[in-house]
Amino acid sequence: MSDETRTSGSVRWLRVVVSNGLLAVLLFGGAGTFAWTAGWLVLALTWASGAVGALTLARHPRGDAAAPRLETSRAGSAIPWVSLMIWAIAGWQANAAGIPEAGAGSAAGFVLAAIAAGWNNWAMASNPRYSGSAPMSGQDVLDAGPYSWTRHPGAAGVAGHAWGIALALGGGWALAPAAVVSGLAAAAAIDEEARLREAEPRYGAYAERVRARFVPGLF
């Protein structure tokens, strides 16, 4: 293992630890209490997903460094920052109106977030050019894994995860930034696809084979 690969792996793990620590501060700091079971469950899911993602990306060191990749769009770069607002608003709501009771909506959100995280990590495992900082960046023309069903599984995973987290944490105003994340993910994917069609002659044929952009059978 080269020094560059070790450094890349260390930075990736540091990003996971710092970002998830920030989520805990936003959620429980905003709520003013640690006594929030659903909050801990959602946070544990996010931590686990981040760890699996870091391990998966470590299997593709050349995808991080040597492989050519498209520059991340402004929409893609904004996704992590808007996603933080889901956690901050959920914490504020819990402080203002009390910890939301766990119900069918919260359970459905947790399941959606788990499925979306698994889908996103499957895309990472299938794509050696997948970027951990911007899930829609650096996509090669692939037919493997979820790329055989949809052209932008990373965008779909990011959007689904955002909606799931917001619902699991009580919904309400936290759904607003989730909607924004979905829009940004779609915009970033569409922008990337336009540039891929110009840069990669094989992409047109791939798009003909895989008709769904985000969700198989829907759109």
What secondary structure does DSSP assign to 85-143, as a single string?
HHHHHHHHHHHHH-PPPP-HHHHHHHHHHHHHHHHHHHHHHH-TT--SSSTTTT-----
pLDDT at 78: 93
State the burial class of residue 130 (Cβ atoms within 10 Å of its Cβ: 0-12, 13-18, 19+).
buried
Give the separation between CA 61 and CA 175, rounded to whole angstroms: 35
Give the separation between CA 124 and CA 179, rounded to whole angstroms: 23
SS3 content of the chain, % helix, strand, coil (to 5): 70, 0, 30
Write down how long the chain is.
Answer: 219
Give the separation between CA 118 and CA 111, rounded to whole angstroms: 11
CA dihedral 185, 47, 45, 33 (to 10 degrees): -110
**pTM assigned to the model:** 0.85
In tens digits, the chain (219 residues) has pLDDT values of 444 444 456 777 788 788 889 999 999 999 999 999 999 999 999 999 988 888 887 776 544 444 445 567 788 889 999 999 999 999 999 999 999 988 999 999 999 999 999 999 998 888 776 654 333 334 456 677 898 899 889 899 999 999 999 999 999 999 999 999 999 999 998 888 888 888 778 888 888 888 888 887 666
pLDDT at 94: 96
- Within 10 Å of residue 108's Cβ, how many Cβ atoms? 14
Give the separation between CA 175 and CA 62, rounded to whole angstroms: 37
Find how far residue 50's CA is from the centre of its chain. 9
DSSP 218: T
